[in-house]
Structure 1
Amino acid sequence: MDEDFASFLAEFEPAIDKRYVPPSTIARYRGKLPDQLLAYWEEYGWCGYADGLFWTVNPQEYEPALEAWIGDTSFMEQDAYHVIARSAFGTLYLWGEQTGDTLRIFAPASRCFSSMPDESIDRDFAMRLFFGGLWRRTNDVEGLFAPALRQLGRLAHDEMYGFVPALALGGAPTLANLRKVKAVEHLVILAQLAPLYVTET
């Protein structure tokens, strides 16, 4: 295990709800996503970490959400993107085949954070840095994860905590407004409620 993923595991243990990644899926993304990520998939599968605060995901399952959020934007003209991870509250981590870790979407607030690619590092090392640079606090929202876990229960791999009413419709980011919802379906709905606001980081 490399030191970056070891640091990630130390921050995000325990892992839950591990799903096996079939060889056909590894083959599908060979050459599109870094070999380092595929090696993580083979070793650890797709699963939730930190009791479900952060999830590694099957990009194919999140294609509807990807299309809903950036399908009609200039981003799709610049690169081919895949959702490789998400948070319990709907932060989507996108990986560009050429540009790497340069797009993240916080779906509840319709915000996209875009950064310039670092062309000085190779794809596999960039993937190591992605995991090594993750923190629990940046995946939480208003400190709501722990109380949501207690009140609403642990998420399944296809669920997230969604605000009802949605923040885009004037909802407040409070525990009382959180519900367990199907992740992909909810993310697609959120994409239809407000225009995507892009911030250059």
Structure 2
Amino acid sequence: MDIGIFNDFELYEKASEKLINKFEGKVPEQLIEVWKQYGFGSILNGYLKIVNPDEFHSLLEEVYIRSKEALVLFTTSMGDLLIWEDNKYLLLLNFRRGKMQDISSGFEFFFSDLEDDSSLQNDLDWLPYPDAIEKYGKPAFDECFGYVPLLGLGGSEKIENLEKVKLIEHIYLNTQFTSLVE
């Protein structure tokens, strides 16, 4: 996998051979190659995190009605999950806005599409991440930026209202007050 977005890859942990074997045929082959070559970690200046689906299984069961057919492949530093559903659809679960968005049917061009700034915004809703890291620094691998108060509780979408929070706990908190539109 020789794509420019991996130039800033930061390793969180290596993917074990056992885990790779477990998910072969269940996740896109391009992602298996990333796991083999890079492991789990972040790209896009820490915005997109390549994660172990097993570590998000329980969370997905609690927050997504079709979790039996889905796996978490990525998280974002704005508190979103990117899931692989029915072994053919990539979806964004955007908890801060309470919406679900189709990213693609298939996975072939996902990584190369991320080299385009418009794809980052249109597909991954990445703003205001660049301004947030300039002001607060990058969140840790298990963190994201969260609005305080939550947008779903009337919080204002301003940089000043962002804080670094624990990702999983923040998603749980968001789902207590908003639900995903399907």
Q: For 1:52, what is the secondary structure of its paired residue?
A: coil
The answer to whether the Cα contact below 8 Å between 2:10 and 2:41 also exists between their aligned partners in 1 is yes
1:99 corresponds to = 88
1:31 deviation in Å? 2.4
1:175 corresponds to = 159
Unaligned runs of 5+ in 1: 119-125
Ranked by relative contact order (alpha carbons within 8 Å, sequence separation 6 or more), the top structure is: 1
TM-score by length of 2: 0.85
1:151 deviation in Å? 2.4
Matched, 1:196 2:175: no
Matched, 1:30 2:10: no
1:12 deviation in Å? 6.2
1:140 deviation in Å? 5.0
Q: For 2:45, what is the secondary structure of its paired residue?
A: helix
Matched, 1:133 2:117: no
The answer to whether the Cα contact below 8 Å between 1:55 and 1:157 also exists between their aligned partners in 2 is yes
Q: For 2:71, what is the secondary structure of its paired residue?
A: strand
Distance 1:17 1:187 in 2: 23
1:51 deviation in Å? 1.7
Letter in 2 for 1:193: F
The answer to whether the Cα contact below 8 Å between 1:64 and 1:184 also exists between their aligned partners in 2 is no
Distance 2:160 2:141 in 1: 23
Aligned residues: 177
- Report Cα offsets for 1:102-126 as digits up to 9, x if no partner: x2211101101247x85xxxxxxx3
1:52 deviation in Å? 0.7
Distance 2:77 2:154 in 1: 20
TM-score by length of 1: 0.77
1:90 to 64, 79, 86: 79
Q: For 1:128, what is the secondary structure of its paired residue?
A: coil
Rg: which structure is higher? 1
Q: For 2:73, what is the secondary structure of its paired residue?
A: strand
1:110 corresponds to = 98
Percent identity between the two aligned chains: 27
1:60 deviation in Å? 1.3
Unaligned runs of 5+ in 2: none
**More off after superposition, 26-35 vs 153-162:** 26-35
Q: For 2:27, what is the secondary structure of its paired residue?
A: coil
The answer to whether the Cα contact below 8 Å between 2:5 and 2:111 also exists between their aligned partners in 1 is no
Distance 1:25 1:91 in 2: 23
Distance 1:189 1:163 in 2: 11
C-alpha change, 1:33 and 1:97, in structure 2 (3 Å) is: farther
2:143 corresponds to = 159
Alignment root-mean-square deviation, CA? 2.2
- Report Cα offsets for 1:149-177 as digits up to 9, x if no partner: 13222221111111111111011111111
